[in-house]
Structure 1
Amino acid sequence: MPDDEFGKIVRQGEQIFINTQKNAGQFVGNSLNCVNCHLDAGRKSNSSPLWAAYISYPAYRSKNKHVNTFAERLQGCFRFSMNGKAPAFGDPTLVALESYAYWLATGAPVGGTLEGRGYPEVKKPAQPADYARGEKVYQQKCALCHGADGQGQASAGKTVFPPLWGEKSFNWGAGMHDIKNASGFIKANMPLGLGGTLTEQEAWDVALFMDSHERPQDPRFNGSVEETRKKYHDSPTSLYGKSVNGHVLGAK
């Protein structure tokens, strides 16, 4: 990193990214840090790395149906994945995160698509994703870090392994609530340090199991789970508004 005033802001962005709770806690409403879903401080391929994201904006997003700047994309992360509130445009937190992403993308072609961007798409397995199989995979491959109850682990007040559902996790508006997105992240990166070892079937099954649990409400909720699903979650890979084990997800 450059040893000047710009480098100072880049370092701030890195620290916000690694320990969001400590360095941008006023914008966070759960127990997560950015690095929990964007591994290796936002540098790891196939873990939605910042260097590939930065060069991809401005871009149209179907999620909010307009062209988004990179700053607006970051705002969405705080609102949905962090279950918090979006920093205003020009806020030092956004400026630092943008600067860090810009520095990581040094030399990358603007407007191109780099290998390793986002989470890889995992083709649908031979059998439909299944809750019971997913629970078995979770207990065998995931519970050691994320806990049998899915609430993760913390050390000295800092989240080490994030909660995967419940009040301290990402909300129903986050991309990870979608089984397709979650299976891609899981297949490429989990178990931690053993990415690529799960089969496609296991990745889809455990993604369905994870996303079959209740979590904070989608901040776009309009008073009706049915209407909110129709407007924002009309996808076969979203479980929002679906009944699982007798409970309608999102109805809490």
Structure 2
Amino acid sequence: MMHSMHAWAPAFALALAACSGSSQPSASTSAASSTAAVPAKAATTSTAAPKQAVAKTFTPPPIDAIPDTPFGKMVREGRAIFMDTQTHAKAYVGNGLRCSNCHLDAGRLANAAPMWAAWGMYPTYRSKNGHVNTFAERLQGCFRYSMNGKAPPPDSPVIVALESYVYWMSKGAPTGVALAGRGYPKKGFKPPQPPDYARGQHVFETNCALCHGKDGQGQKAAGRYVFPPLWGPQSFNWGAGMHKLDNAAAFIKANMPLGRGGMLSDQDAWDVALFMNAHERPQDPRFTGSVAETRKKFHHSKMSLYGTVVNGHLLGSGSPR
């Protein structure tokens, strides 16, 4: 069980519900009791996103439509990288993940961050790094954070191949339009009750451990991960978007258990997201040398457990295990 909630917790919950810019608790303060410091009416972002037109649907072309041309060859190389990043982009990967772990069905599945819904939204400003990002830079960030590796040069064969694959997949999609199925479905998705560590552990043991292992370290076949590790040294690092509770909960609700997305209740999804992200993982590559300072600078969000104390451990302060 997580340690007892301190006196600041009610105010913390109120601040989150109102999505105010109030100051964060110190890194030495416990995040929660068995109930997490995320209230039932938590806002998912600190600032409102600009309103955008939403297309009804988009269907990417079938894989067998990839042309038998030099461009088609590059598209296939991009798809190969996407499906088996360990083999085809090994120099830039630092963990046991591949692109298709978070972007399901080779990046084609709606509500699993499909790549065809991302292509037309770049270039765009991202608050994460405070400037306008190209799509190539967005891909570089995936390698740096989700893959816990290093960014390929923007003109490298890896980035060019991935861009070619996504460009081909997005053929016919409008640009500058937030397509239906983009990202993970977070609109109005809030926990009925504050997420709870103990409940999340039960959800994990009942629904997730079969594939991801009792210790959350994934499962291998012939030396390769067939189910990804959810925390620990081979998982995504503290800078990855999936470490945020709202992102993880929305992905889990829509897509997990694999092939049975939607079977978990909203509460179960939030609870197990908290349980998953209350474990240690590789350090944020932007680490300043201080967990408290890194939280203040990069994790100033109620959706991040980085820099909070869970079960007596300051998350972000130790080696993942």
TM-score by length of 1: 0.99
* In 2, Cα distance between equivalents of 1:118 and 1:47: 6
Distance in 2 separating the partners of 1:100 and 1:54: 10
The CA distance in 2 between the partners of 1:41 and 1:124, in whole Å, is 28
Aligned-pair CA distance for 1:155: 1.1
Shift of 1:123: 2.0
Partner of 1:61: 126
1:222 partnered with 2:301: no
- The 5 A counterparts of 1:188-203 are 188-203=254-269
**Larger relative CO (CA 8 A, sep 6+): 1 or 2?**
2
Q: TM-score, normalised by structure 2?
A: 0.78
1:172 is aligned to 2:233? no
Count of residues paired in the alignment: 252
Aligned partner of 1:241 in structure 2 is: 307
Kindly state the Cα deviation for residue 131 of structure 1 after the two structures are TM-superposed. Answer: 0.3
Cα displacement string for residues 121-141 of structure 1 (whole angstroms, at most 9, x for unaligned residues): 062222100000000000000
8 Å contact from structure 2 (residues 189, 250) kept in 1: no
Identity of aligned residues (%): 67
Q: Let me know the Cα RMSD of the aligned residues.
A: 0.6
In structure 1, stretches of 5+ residues that fail to align are none
Rounded Cα–Cα distance in structure 1 between residues aligned with 2:312 and 2:200: 18
- Give secondary structure in 2 for the equivalent of 1:171: coil
For 2:129 and 2:292, the matched residues in 1 are separated by 19
Alignment of 1:1-252 (within 5 A): 1-121=66-186, 123-252=189-318
How many Å separate the matches in 2 of 1:25 and 1:93? 10
Counterpart of 1:135, as a letter, is Q
Whose helix fraction is larger, Structure 1's or Structure 2's? 1
Q: Distance in 1 between matches of 2:189 and 2:113?
A: 18
Structure whose CA Rg is larger: 2
**Partner SS for 1:55:** helix
Deviation at 1:157, TM superposition (A): 2.1
Structure 2 distance, partners of 1:157, 1:91, is 28
1:211 positional shift = 0.1
What is the Cα deviation at residue 158 of structure 1?
Answer: 2.0
How far apart, in 1, do the equivalents of 2:114 and 2:223 lie?
A: 26
1:182-223 Cα shifts (integer Å, max 9, x gaps)? 001000000001001111100000000000000000000000
Whichever residue aligns with residue 235 of structure 1, its letter is S
Aligned to 2:239, what secondary structure does the other structure show? coil
Supply the AA of the counterpart residue of 2:107. G
